[in-house]
Amino acid sequence: MKMRYVLVSWLLVCLVGFDFASPTALQQQNEFLFQQLQRVHGLTDAQMNAIRKIFAKSAILGKEIRR
């Protein structure tokens, strides 16, 4: 349940619309998000690794949003 909340939270962040300038900026933004998720929700390293794998496999999550 907590993992679902984390992913829904990230999707809402995406919908608000970050405008990323470069792949490096996108990676930095994702890393910042991961750090915040871990800190705020008290996630373990294993949980964060699972989230990172989900993002890595996704064609949408954590990718650049074009408007």
Q: How much is the pTM?
A: 0.59
Mean pLDDT of the chain, nearest integer = 77
Q: How far apart are CA 61 and CA 55, in angstroms?
A: 5
Instruction: Pick the more confident residue, 56 or 2.
Output: 56
pLDDT-based confidence at 67, cuts 50/70/90?
low
pLDDT-based confidence at 2, cuts 50/70/90?
confident
pLDDT of residue 18: 54
Phi, psi dihedral angles at 20 (to 5 degrees): -90, 135
Which of the 8 DSSP states describes residue 25? H
pLDDT of residue 45: 95
Show contacts of 35-44: CB within 8 Å, 24+ apart.
Answer: 37/6, 37/9, 37/10, 41/2, 41/5, 41/6, 43/2, 43/6
